[in-house]
């Protein structure tokens, strides 16, 4: 069963900021980032339990090609993305959201 994916407000903001940053670095790189995030989210939607739980029901998946992880929780009817997080940032920043 494929579940719809929703972003929290902060997760969506992180995603948008990262996309713009990559696009400024090199034309087309922002689009590549978007495609890789979407590919990862499509996989999560189909196989939500595939990735490890890292904190009180929050799961983490490393995004290919980019130094980002997606943190999400699985609900009966949807997937909620709580962070699109650069791996060099302090994890306490996303952990305080749960």
pLDDT digits (tens, 9 = 90+) for 49-60: 999 999 889 999
d(CA 8, CA 78): 12
**Distance (Å, rounded) from C-alpha 97 to C-alpha 89?**
15
Measured in whole angstroms, the distance separating CA 19 from the mean position of its chain's CA atoms is: 12
> In sequence order, which residues have a C-beta less than 8 Å from that of residue 75 and are 6 or more positions away?
3
SS3 (DSSP) at 68:
strand
Neighbours of 23 (CB within 10 A): 16
For β-strands 5-7 and 79-86, DSSP reports them as parallel
List pLDDT tens digits, range 2-18. Answer: 889 999 999 999 999 99
Q: Domains (ranges, CATH) in the chain?
A: 5-95 (3.30.2310.20)
pTM across the whole model: 0.92
Q: Going edge to edge, which strands form the sheet with 5-7?
A: 5-7, 79-86, 68-74, 58-62, 53-55
What would the pLDDT profile of 28-40 be if each residue is shown by its tens digit?
999 999 999 999 9
pLDDT in tens, 36-92: 999 999 999 999 999 999 988 999 999 999 999 999 999 999 999 999 999 988 777
């Amino acid at each position: 069963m494929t579940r719809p994916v929703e972003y929290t407000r902060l997760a969506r903001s992180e995603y948008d900021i990262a996309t713009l940053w990559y696009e400024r670095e090199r034309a087309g790189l922002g689009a590549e980032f978007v495609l890789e995030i979407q590919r990862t989210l499509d996989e999560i939607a189909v196989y939500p339990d595939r990735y490890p739980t890292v904190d009180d029901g929050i799961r983490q998946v490393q995004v290919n090609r980019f130094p980002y992880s997606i943190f999400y929780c699985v609900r009966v009817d949807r997937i909620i993305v709580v962070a699109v997080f650069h791996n060099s940032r302090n994890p306490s920043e996303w952990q305080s959201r749960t």
